[in-house]
Amino acid sequence: MKVLIIGGVAAGTKTAAKLKREDRSAKITVITRDKDISYAGCGLPYYVGGLIESREELIVNTPQKYAKMTGVEVKTGKEATALWADKKQVLVKDLFTGEEEVCSYDKLVLAVGASPVELPVPGMKQQGVFKMRTPDDATAIRAYAEENQVKKAVVIGAGFIGLEAAENLKTRGIQVTVIDFAAQVLPNILDKEMAGYVKKHLLKEGIRVITGTKAEEVVGNGKVTGVKTSAGFLGCDLLITAAGIRPNTEFLQDSGLEMFKGTILVDNTMKTNLEGVYAAGDCVMVTNRITGKPQWSPMGSSANMEGRTLAQLLSGKNKTYPGVLGTGIVKLPGLNVGRTGLTEEQAKAAGYEVVSVLAPTDDKAHYYPGAGFFITKLIAEKNTHKLLGVQVMGPGAVDKMIDIAVMGLNMGAALEDFENADFAYAPPFSTAIHPFVQAVYVLLNKLSGDLVSMTPAEYAEGKAKGYKVIDAGLTPSIHGAQYVDPFAVNGEIEGLDKEEKLLLVCAKGKRAYFLQNRMRFYGYKNTVVLEGSTFFNDVKVENPEGAVSPEEEKRVKALGFLKDKNTLDRFNGRVITRNGKITAEEARTIAEAAELFGSGEVTMTSRLTMEIQGVPFANIEPLREYLMQAGLETGGTGSKVRPVVSCKGTTCQYGLIDTFALSEEIHERFFHGYANVKLPHKFKIAVGGCPNNCVKPDLNDLGIIGQRIPLVDMEKCRGCKVCRVENNCPIKVAKVVDGKIVIPENECNHCGRCIGKCPFKAFEEYTNGYRIYIGGRWGKKVAQGRYLDKVFTDKEEVLAIVEKAILLFREQGITGERFADTVARLGFENVQEQLLTDDLLGRKEENIKAQKHLTGGATC
């Protein structure tokens, strides 16, 4: 049997290798237009981010290695240009020589895959514009980002690849904006409310996401500088397009092959309508395993399984391909997102009577270190209880939840089939009742009527209008809601009418369910539990009265909102400016936000953050989301690394270093990079461009001051009676002694004012550097920082000192004390010695994982 396979990535190489194992006599040839075969397309974003270090790691097999291992002939640089099925021939062009040849076959496998959609947007040919489909694409993106020191990027497309690209660009310290024409992220993958949670999470993680937005023009003069969109101009140094793919089937249009929107139609044996022609992979329209209807599911996992099944079929085995569930999973910063089966919207469109539930649970025993959460949405058929689809989010092993669902869907399971499933349990891995089973219990309670609830989607659509919100949390936390402790209810509840419509809300939903159970017993007829409660939903009370609870006040304080003591529910929100510098666009956004959500007034704090005044408690979350859409964030409170302050740097006549660039780098590495690291107290950093100390670097926990160190050529010194260097020294330490200029090393502040002042060129050369102060403090108590003995000339060494200082403070500081106190207690010499060696960095992972300083000492 002579088998020709067109396409050499997942489906093609899998078909060939398996078929050769099934039938060693088969003569199999794989042709591919790329130079690489069998590469890890799903790993490309992680190469860009640096998690995968070398390009070679992306190549599963080289053509030579693959051919030797399988016995399959591989021809690269060959492109199929026509199919003549009646003759069982394919016209093939050599992409290097341009020569054409006719290849015959007994069986033909079309595994031509898909390519990124070419957006009809002017300017796409600029340098710095990339797609992400092949190892060459990933290599080019990473090299471009490194060589051009890219600071800002735009990703067009908020699907799996687009979001993975965004995460990995952020890992490189690049500021990322993701845009998508769809109204949500992960369109056709998640339901609207789940996608909304993902979008908010990405915004909180510093990835700007703008949905419902169309790219209109790529701007640049040969090199990309930005993108004009329907939402405005977005500046960038790098642009990645990930706005979908389309099958590589153009050459098959006149072949007689039956297709739908470019995809090849096959039956359950992967056979096309043409005799002897089969297809598999991203170019194929298969079926949905649940509905039996056609579905395009271009995934590497599906392509491999389709190829394996096809190989068995070609070897004569009685096999069928059952179809796909559309299973997918994506890693985002701090959140993994998986799904399988039908979304609620898809299930309704397919004609099912749908019931769903959203259940937050622990992902392992809550007391076990590193425990996180799952947010699980189950979709089932109302009458039969048959499971239809699952969506799960969480920081941990989301895949295990999805894989359980896949097995259930494959077997046509009903919810009851999971009810007493004996899943593995131990505290490091799961909860005693598995999180998946817990979610099933909640949905079964809903179906039986034991739980009456409202979904987050229904809440977002306004279904709770007219309901009175009852706060059933551990402590009062919902502004304006009546608080009821579920376990204190033993009869009628004062102030609540039994006919009143009541929305019961707690943290995740469990306490609200317990409260509903008791209230129904005591005759309350219209209670509804909000699924996901405050963990998932932004819960507001219409026209709230009274003061904000201490718990809520503490919570929003951690978000950068400080209570105005003259009011019951007004807050001032701190907008982080990175170093005191903002763009005109950001300034406009802050001003607009102040008018929309606050009093219209903006003040500047001593730490160079912008503070929006008079924000009602109910406006805090809308304000934060509005700012995050523009790439701005609130914060700068708590026992953590605080936002960096900077002087004007080289834009000042005295400035010796680019303080803005350095402070932005410190901001990304340590304000963002250490955002979740608790310290004994706040840790403030200031960067000054010269020894004038305009931003008080020596009164911060750590201060960096630019230095210009003169390299004096004493042979050129004439010992002039009137020495210009001596006269120009602002601190009067330069002196002519015995006919030569003398500058005491321990007295010179390296301001650089002497450079170029000697007419005989003795003071022409210099070295720029940095002096680092530690242990400064101002406020209730003042402490003058002391500088390390060494003057640093390497910026990376300076950044390492900053990190080591933070790590030392976390490791050796006592909760509640300032860094100045830690330095005084340990001794300056001891601290300096530790900062000038790398032992602290060696203990970094252990240090950060330790459960320390959980309360912290900062009060503002």
Residues carrying an active site annotation: 42
Confirm if 47 and 36 have CB atoms less than 8 A apart: no
Strands (E), 120-181: 129-131, 152-156, 175-180
Work out whether strand 89-94 and strand 78-84 pair parallel, antiparallel, or are unpaired.
antiparallel
Q: Are 434 and 442 spatial neighbours (Cβ–Cβ below 8 Å)? A: no
425-431 long-range contacts (CB < 8 A, ≥24 apart) are: 427/364, 427/365, 427/367, 427/368, 428/364, 428/365, 428/368, 429/364, 430/363, 430/364, 430/365, 431/361, 431/362, 431/363, 431/364, 431/365, 431/366
For residue 748, the tally of other CB atoms under 10 A from its CB is 17
| Residue 92 near residue 101, CB atoms below 8 Å | yes
Which tokens is 666 given?
Answer: 């410190």
- The length of the chain in residues reads 860
> What gap in Å lies between CA 792 and CA 513, rounded to an integer?
60
Whether residue 356 contacts residue 390, with contact meaning beta carbons closer than 8 Å, is answered with: no
Instruction: State which amino acid sits at residue 627.
Output: L
Token pair for residue 191? 């339901």
- The DSSP symbol for 814 reads P
710 contacts: CB under 8 Å, gap ≥ 6: 743, 748, 750, 752, 754, 755, 763, 765, 766
Other CB atoms within 10 A of residue 856 CB: 18
Quote the CA–CA distance of 683 and 256 in Å, as a whole number: 70
With beta carbons less than 8 A apart as the criterion, state whether 627 and 610 touch.
no
Q: Where are the beta strands (DSSP E) in 472-511?
A: 482-483, 502-505
- Enumerate residues 6+ apart whose C-beta is below 8 A from 432: 365, 425
Could you tell me the end-to-end alpha-carbon distance of the chain, in angstroms, rounded to an integer? 77
Strand partners, 219: 226
Q: Is 158 left (phi over 0), alpha (psi -120 to 50) or beta?
A: alpha
Burial 321-336 (b: 16+ CB within 10 A, else e): bebbbbbbbbbbbebb
Three-state SS for 602-654 is: EEECCCCCEEEEEEEHHHHHHHHHHHHHCCCCECCCCCCECCCEECCHHHCCC
Strands 502-505 and 468-471: parallel
Return the structure tokens found at 45: 């974003």
- Strands in 482-483's sheet, in edge-to-edge order, are 453-454, 527-530, 502-505, 468-471, 482-483
Residue corresponding to tokens 């909760």: 815
